[in-house]
Amino acid sequence: MKYLPIIICALALCLGETYAAEQDTDTDKKVLAAWEKNCAPCHGKNGKGTTTIGRKMKAADLTSEKIQKKYKDKQEEIVKLISEGLIKDKKVIMKPLKDKLEEEDMKELAKYLEELGKKKDEK
């Protein structure tokens, strides 16, 4: 029964979607607001990095397979990245946000990032 994994996946996707649709909670709004304020200027609302600044800075497409794979099941690394920022060749690319965001919010953002990757696959 080689299709079984596919069927299970499809089912999980369906369930996930209904779940997501019903889940319009305060947390969601908070994450979305935090994303739009802190990340979207460069990475865009959809995480693809196609904003004007994003293009200029060559912001990573966070929905890409490369990034999604790199951070799969590694939320704590995303939290660390958000917290400490990204500094390359002594240039600050992403500002450290540890003084601006609560640990909880960073965790939610990390989850949100994963969601963005999944959303891309649905289309």
116 with 46: CB under 8 angstroms? yes
Tell me if 31 contacts ligand HEC by CB under 6 A.
no
Q: Which stretch binds ligand HEC (CB under 6 A): 6-14, 15-23, 82-90, 114-122?
A: 82-90
| Distance between CA atoms of residues 30 and 22, nearest Å | 16
118 with 46: CB under 8 angstroms? no
Tell me if 63 contacts ligand HEC by CB under 6 A.
no
For ligand HEC, the binding residues (CB under 6 A) are 38-39, 41-43, 53, 57-60, 62, 67, 70, 78, 81-82, 86, 88, 93-94, 97, 109, 113
